[in-house]
Chains A and B, each alone.
Chain A
Amino acid sequence: MLVLDRDSRVALMALAACALLLLGLIALAGESPLRVLAILIGDGFLTRAGLADALVRSIPLTLTGLGVALSFRAGVFNIGVDGQLLIGAALAMACAPILGPLPSALALPLLLLAGTLGGAIWGGIAGILKARFGANEIIATIMLNYIAIQMVSWLIRGPLQEPMGIFPRSEKLAASLRLPILFDGTRLSAGLIVAALACVAVWFLVARSRYGYALTVTGKNADAARYGGIQPAVIAFSVLCLSGALAGLAGIVEVSGLHGRLQEGFAGGIGITAIAVALLARLSPLWVPVAAFGFAGLYVGSDAIARLTAVPFPLVHVIEGTIVLAFLVLQIMPKAKDR
C-alpha cells in the first residue's frame, strides 16, 4: 500500500479542497462544471498548442518557484519575486547593447548571468536590510517590488526606450541574444532547459550540500543553528540573494525566450503564483516544476474557459488563493489530529 508522509497528504488535501470549491464556483457562475472542467483540462493539457503554451508558462513559474522554495525553507519569506524578476530583466537589457556584437554562444550565457545578477542584487538589498538592521523581509521585499516597478517604468520611457520613442518599451533583443525556439510552430524556447538545469542545481543545493543543511536548520530552529555555529543573518542574506537570482534569471528568460523586449507588466503576478507553486511543491525542488506545470496548464485552460464559457478568467486567481489558503489551514489542522 502506498503510504504518504504528512506533507504529501496535506498537498493532496489542498488540491482536493481547491477542486471542490472550484466546482462550486463554476456552478455559481451558471455553467456546467463538467463542461468547464473538460475545456480546462482539454485546452490546458491535452492539445499540442495547449501543452506547449502550458510549458511556456511553466518556465518562469518553475524558476521563481525554486527561488521561493529556497527562501521559505530558511524561514525567510521572499515576497519580492516580482521586483527581483523585473530588475534582473532590466539589468540584462541594459547590458544587451554591449553583448550584441559577441558570438551567441558567449553572449547568451552572459545575458542570462546579467539577469541573475540583477535579481540577486535586488534580493540582496532586502537581505542587507534584514541581516544588518533586522528589517522584516516581507515588508522590505514588498516595498522593493514597487520601487522596481517604477524603475522599469522609467527605464522604458527613458534610457532603455526604443529609438522610435513612441511606445514605452525597449528595443527588440538582437537575434543572437534570443533563446532558440525548441519546436517549430510553438513559442517554447530553450528556457525550458534553463529551468530544468536550475531544478537539478537547486535540488543538489537543498538535498546534498552543506549550505542546504544550514538553510533547513535555520528555517526549523534558528537558536539551534546559532548553537551549531551557523549565523542566521548570513543565511538570510545569502538566501535572499539566491532567491532573487533565480527570479532575475526568470525575468531575462521571459524576455529573451518569449517577449524579445522589455515592456510594462510583461510578467505581472508571477511572484504570487510562485508562492503557490512552492507551497504546493512542499518546498521540494523536484516537485516545483510539476506544480509549476499544473498552474501553467490552469492558466492556459482558464484562457480557453474565458473565451468559450460564461466563467471569467479571474477564476484562476481564485484557484491560486484557495491553494495558498487551503495550505495554511491544512498545515495547522493535522497537528491537532496527529497524536
Chain B
Amino acid sequence: MTVPVLELTHLSKRYGEVTAVAGLSLKLEPGEVVALLGENGAGKSTVVNMITGMTRPDAGQIHLQGKEVHLDTPRDALDRGIGVVHQHYALVGNFTVAETLALGRAGPGVLDRKVLHADVRRVAERIGMQMDPAALVGSLDVAGQQRVEILKALSRKVSLLVLDEPTAVLSPEDAARLFDVVRALRADGVAILMVTHRLADVFAVCDRAAVMHAGNLVCDLPVASATKQGLISAMISGNTDIAQLPGLPGQANVLPDRPPTPLSDAPIRVSVRNLKLLRANGSQAVQGLGFDIRAGEIMALAGIDGNGQSELVQCLAGLNLPDGGAAEICGCRSDGHWTPRLLRNAGVAHVPDDRRRYGIISDLSLSANMMLSHFFSPRYGRLVLDRARARDDTRRAIDEYDIRTTGPDQPIGRLSGGNQQKLVLARELLAGPRVILAAHPSRGLDIRTIGAVQDILRRQRDAGAAILLVSADLDEIRALADRVVVLAAGTAFGPVAMADTDMAQIGAWMAGHA
C-alpha cells in the first residue's frame, strides 16, 4: 500500500458564525487527480487555503506523506512540496518567464540567465509544454500566464499541485492543452487537487470526484462510477440520491421564452461602425467591427478570451475612446463627450469582466459598493448621501439574489467571488438599464446562480433592454443570444442571427476560420 501524498482528517474552519468547512476528510494518492466540486461558498476555497498555508484550520490534521504537518504560512506549504496555481495569478508583467521563476528563489548576486533559461526549458519539456523563457509575462495571454504559474509551481519539487478553477478563463483548446499537462504530471507521480465548477473538467481528466456542500464533503467517488446528474445533485442539494434532483434552472436546454427574432422596428440603442481598438500595449485588439443592437435584443460577443472583448466593453462603457471608427449609444457619440458618467446617465449598465479591479471596492461595505454605479444619478441624493436607501436596496438585493452575507454593512471583500458577482449584477440592473454590457456575467458562479442570471438577462431583454453579452461559453450563448458576433485574431465575424447559424460555424469562427 502506498502512503497518501495528502491526507486531511476532520478539518474544520469557522469564520465568525459561519462554518466554512465542517470536519472534512480527504485522501490523495500519488499520481491521482481529484476534482473538488461545489457551489460558490461550499468551502472549496477554504480547503485550498488550509492546504496551502494561507489559513490555519480550527480543528483537524493535515498529513503529508504520512507525517502530520502544521502549515502556518504559504512558505511552509511550498517548502513541503505543495504547489498552487491560484485563480488570480500573481505575476509581474515586465519580467520574463525565466525571471518570474527565479523570483524569490535566486540568491543574491548576478542572475545567470543562460542557466535559468535552460531550467525553464527542462521543466517545460518534462510536461510537454511549449514556453519561451525570454517572453515577457505581460505579453502572454491568460492561458500563457497560467502556464507560467504552473511552471512556477513545478520549478520547486512538488508532490501535490493544487489548481484553483484552472479552466475558468481558458478557451476549450487551451483547456485541452492544460489537461495534457495534468496527465503528464500524473504520469510523473504528482497528486493533483483540481478545484472546479465545470463537470466537463471532471470527466475529461480527473480520477476521483469529491463534492462539497455547505462545508461538508457529501460524496467522494471514482469518476468512472459518477454521473453528471449525480454530481450536480450533490453540488446543489448535498444529496447523492438522483431521485431527489430538483429542477435545474441553469441547464442549457432551457429554451428562450420567445422566438429569437429581434423586432426590426425597435430603436437602435447601440451602434458600432468600423471600430478599431488597441490594447494597452499598443497591439491591435479589434479592427473593422460593426454592429447594431436594438432594444429588446441580446447580442452575444463570442470569442476566446483576449481577442478584444475587454477593450470593446471598456470602450462602450466610456472608459476608453475608440482608436478608429465610431460608436453611438443612446444618442451619445464617441466623437463627442464619451465618459462613463455620461453613458451611465444615458442608461448604460456595465458588468465588468475584471470584477476585483473595476467592479468592487473590497474594503467597503456591500451598501457602499451598491452606490458605486449610481453615484451620478439622483438615486442616492444630490449632495448628501442617502445611505438608508442604499442599505434598503442592498437588503433587497441580498434577498432577491440570495447573497450569502451577514448583512449590508459587511465588507464585500469577505464574500466569495460568486456572491460578489451577484451584488455587482444586482447593482447594475437596479435602475432598469436601457443598455447592458455584460462581460462574462456568470463566470465563477454556481449552476443555480447561472440559471438565475440568465433568467434575469432574458427578463431585461423582454423589458426592452439592449444587451451585449460577452461570453466564451457556447452553451450560454445558445441559451440567451438572438444574434452573435465573433471576435478572433483581430477580425470580426458576423453579426448573424442565431437562427441562421449553428454551433459548428461559431466554433470555426472562434478558431479564426471564415
Q: Interface of A with B (CB < 8 Å)?
A: 208-210, 212-214, 216-217, 220-221, 223-224, 226-231, 339
Contact = CB atoms under 8 A, between A and B. Distances in A.
B364 A227 contact: no
B359 A210 contact: no
A180 B350 CA distance: 56
Interface in B440-464: none
Contact of A227 (B319, B368, B385): B319
- Nearest 6 A-B pairs (CB), nearest first? A229-B341, A227-B358, A228-B372, A229-B340, A221-B361, A220-B361
A217 B319 contact: no
B382 A210 contact: yes
Contact of A210 (B339, B357, B368, B383): B383
A43 to B, nearest CB: 41
Q: Which of A212, A214, A220, A221 has the most CB of B within 10 A?
A: A221
B44 interface: no
Nearest to B343: A229
A224 B358 contact: yes
A224 B385 contact: no
Contacts of A231: 339, 341
B55 interface: yes
A228 B364 contact: no
Given A223-B357, A224-B359, A229-B341, A210 B381 contact: yes
Given A210-B383, A229-B376, 19 more contacts: A208-B384, A209-B383, A212-B385, A220-B364, A224-B357, A224-B359, A226-B340, A227-B317, A227-B352, A227-B358, A228-B344, A228-B373, A228-B375, A229-B339, A229-B341, A229-B373, A231-B341, A339-B49, A339-B55
Contacts of B55: 339
Nearest to A336: B73
Interface of B: 49, 54-56, 317-319, 339-341, 344, 350, 352, 357-364, 368, 371-373, 375-376, 380-385
A228 B384 CA distance: 18
Contacts of A223: 357-358
B310 to A, nearest CB: 13
15 contacts: A209-B383, A210-B381, A210-B382, A210-B385, A212-B385, A213-B368, A213-B375, A221-B360, A224-B360, A224-B361, A226-B340, A228-B344, A231-B339, A231-B341, A339-B54
B384 A227 contact: no
Contact of A230 (B317, B350, B368, B375): B375
Contact of B364 (A208, A210, A214, A217): A217
Contacts of B49: 339
A69 B385 CA distance: 20
A209 B385 contact: yes
A339 B56 contact: yes
B378 to A, nearest CB: 10
B500 to A, nearest CB: 35
A209 B371 CA distance: 13
B361 A229 contact: no
A227 B362 CA distance: 15
Contacts of A216: 364, 368
A210 B376 CA distance: 9
Q: Which of B361, B362, B382 has the most CB of A within 10 A?
A: B361
A223 B372 CA distance: 12
Contacts of B319: 226-227
Contacts of B340: 226-229
Nearest to A211: B383
Contacts of A208: 384-385
Contacts of B352: 227
B450 to A, nearest CB: 23
Given A229-B339, A339-B54, A339-B56, A209 B372 contact: no
A10 to B, nearest CB: 14
A223 B362 CA distance: 12
A200 B53 CA distance: 46
A210 B359 CA distance: 19
A37 to B, nearest CB: 37
B430 to A, nearest CB: 13
Contacts of A229: 318, 339-341, 344, 373, 375-376
Contacts of A214: 375
Nearest to A220: B361
A149 B425 CA distance: 53
Contacts of A226: 319, 340, 358
Contacts of B383: 209-210
A259 B419 CA distance: 59
A209 B363 CA distance: 19
A312 to B, nearest CB: 41
Contact of B350 (A209, A213, A217, A227): A227
Given A223-B357, A224-B361, A227-B319, A217 B372 contact: yes
B464 to A, nearest CB: 23
Contacts of B364: 216-217, 220
Contacts of A339: 49, 54-56
Nearest to B352: A227
Contacts of A217: 361, 364, 368, 372
Contacts of A227: 317, 319, 340, 350, 352, 358-359, 372-373
Contacts of A213: 368, 371, 375, 385
A261 to B, nearest CB: 39
Nearest to B377: A229
A237 to B, nearest CB: 16
Contacts of B344: 228-229
Q: Which of A209, A224, A339 has the most CB of B within 10 A?
A: A224
A162 B151 CA distance: 74
Contacts of A210: 375, 380-385
A227 B373 CA distance: 8
Contacts of A212: 385
A214 B371 CA distance: 10
Nearest to B387: A208
A224 B363 CA distance: 12
A125 B35 CA distance: 58
A283 B360 CA distance: 22
A155 to B, nearest CB: 38
A75 to B, nearest CB: 12
Nearest to B319: A226
Nearest to A228: B372
A256 to B, nearest CB: 31
A229 B371 CA distance: 11
B90 to A, nearest CB: 15
A320 to B, nearest CB: 27
Contacts of A209: 383-385
Nearest to B390: A213
Nearest to B376: A229
A80 to B, nearest CB: 27
A227 B344 CA distance: 10
Contacts of A220: 361-364
A217 B412 CA distance: 13
Contacts of B371: 213
Nearest to B339: A229
A214 B341 CA distance: 13
A214 B363 CA distance: 14
Contacts of B361: 217, 220-221, 224
A263 to B, nearest CB: 41
B479 to A, nearest CB: 27
